[in-house]
Amino acid sequence: MSRGVRRAGAGQGAAAALQLLVTLSFLPSVVEAQVTGVLDDCLCDVDSIDNFNTFKIFPKIKKLQERDYFRYYKVNLKRPCPFWAEDGHCSIKDCHVEPCPESKIPVGIKAVSSNKYLKVANNTKELEDCEQASKLGAINSTLSNQSREAFIDWARYDDSQDHFCELDDERSPAAQYVDLLLNPERYTGYKGSSAWRVWNSIYEENCFKPRSVYRPLNPLAPSRGEDDGESFYTWLEGLCLEKRVFYKLISGLHASINLHLCANYLLEETWGKPTWGPNMKEFKRRFDPVETKGEGPRRLKNLYFLYLIELRALSKVAPYFERSIVDLYTGNVKEDADTKTLLLNIFQDTKSFPMHFDEKSMFAGDKKGAKSLKEEFRLHFKNISRIMDCVGCDKCRLWGKLQTQGLGTALKILFSEKEIQKLPENSPSKGFQLTRQEIVALLNAFGRLSTSIKELQNFKVLLQHSRDASYCLVGEGDLQINLSKK
């Protein structure tokens, strides 16, 4: 081969290597470049949330989720789908949820009813026989008649209260305790028409989509027409604030779930031993601006918006837990005290955040119109919580129910500010109550969001490493080209 041909080939190789470098280095940085700046409909920026979550929230919320009070969640995974005939449950082994044996549940959790976690409600000598606990929980027989009547009124109010979620009946024989630490949220392989129908129903029927918009909102839709990409979302700006917020909450929840699946993906399985870890290809497929035509960064920004909403709810509900009457009861006195101290510490951090979302800007129009819109908002979200019973994968259903209930509890808190301000210090309140199920869902759902943002940071690091590796790869290519010239 002539020297000229070799030089030409070397020149082409250098050009190809340069093109490879540009391509590989551009894609990793573009996600980071577009998921930054101030979020829409609030005055907070992404970098502030990243720093706050990394250094203040994430280490503590992770520790809280490991406490007995928050790791055991009672849920009914056998409720039938209320909207369509089910096509059977997923048979993939990773979809399976392992219920927790009764013997493993702390006696203080299983011996009291769902919303009795107050010290006065748990003032008993022995709680070993949970079946003997009354419907109102294990209440000491020495309580005055006035106190008994207060608890009866409390329970009656709690049963009739307007919730943002369809709550499971914890007294149902089908309801079981699940150890969340032993059933982590991760990729299960659940996909196809069943998963598509769930998300399609959520987006198309409950997200206030205008009739003039024909393209499916569901990111899982197989074909979304010609109107793809970031420009599609001009319709969103035409909605009122409340309806925009609703869509962003659902989109943010979907993004958070997808991040968990990408970060805990089944990479390989050797001799029955699975290896779980981050899947870069899956992350890019769901969030890369090129592969998603600019929609990926929007989805991730909605995750940050959802984080802000739940962060705000935690800061608003802090007075409820700061009362001396509230005891996160499991039966282990020392651990219960430590758990409450840790929870209050997290609440102090949430209150210190300087750029909270202002929920007072919502439902602020004329009283009649605002009340009607708020009820529509509530019913749409409650409907979504019912759709979770249509998920065919048990593990996906578990975490879907928990996270929608957690968000529903956060919304309940945000729109109960007056009731929370009027809470009595040493007695139950008829105006505002949280069940244990709601408390566990609220903190675990926020823990999932905190983890999502942390995982997003990890993916950015991995993307940066892949970009650095591309430089090394091209450098070796240049070396070979130079040697061929000699």
Compute, in degrees rounded to 10, the torsion defined by CA atoms 220, 226, 231, 237. -70
Under 8 Å between Cβ of 346 and 447: no
Q: What are phi and psi of 176, to 5 degrees?
A: -135, 150
Structure confidence at residue 219 (pLDDT)? 83
Q: Which residue has the tokens 């219960």?
A: 336
Alpha helical stretches, state H, 120-233: 145-160, 193-206
* Residue 287, CB-side half-sphere exposure with 13 Å CA sphere: 36
Which residue type is seen at 371? K
Per the annotation, the verdict on 393 as an active-site residue is: yes
- Which listed residue (42, 100, 165, 393) is catalytic? 393
Length of the chain: 486
Helix or strand (DSSP H, E) at 465: helix 436-485
The domain ranges of the chain are 29-110+153-220+228-480
Cα separation, 368 vs 366, in Å, equals 6
The full DSSP string for 406-423 is HHHHHHHHHT-HHHHHT-
Cα separation, 31 vs 348, in Å, equals 32
- Tell whether residue 201 is among the known ligand binding residues: no
- Tell whether residue 254 is among the known ligand binding residues: yes
Under 8 Å between Cβ of 69 and 443: no
- The encoded tokens of residue 284 equal 């890019």
- Tell whether residue 436 is among the known ligand binding residues: no
The full DSSP string for 281-344 is HHHHHHH-TTTTTTHHHHHHHHHHHHHHHHHHHHHHHHHHHHSTTB---SS-HHHHHHHHHHHH
Structure confidence at residue 337 (pLDDT)? 95
Which residue type is seen at 252? G
Mean pLDDT by 10 residues, the chain (486 residues): 47 47 45 74 90 97 97 94 80 86 90 55 42 32 45 44 78 92 93 90 93 84 62 84 94 97 92 89 92 90 96 96 91 95 98 91 86 92 95 95 97 91 80 92 98 95 77 47 33
SS (H, E, C) 245-291: HHHHHHHHHHHHHHHHHHHCEEEEEECCEEEEECCHHHHHHHHCCCC
Q: Which residue has the tokens 């918006």?
A: 305
Q: What are phi and psi of 342, to 5 degrees?
A: -65, -40
- Tell whether residue 286 is among the known ligand binding residues: yes
- Tell whether residue 251 is among the known ligand binding residues: yes
- Tell whether residue 352 is among the known ligand binding residues: no
What angle is formed at CA 198 by the lines to CA 192 and CA 200, rounded to 5 degrees? 90
- The Cβ of residue 80 has, within 10 Å, a number of other Cβ atoms equal to 9
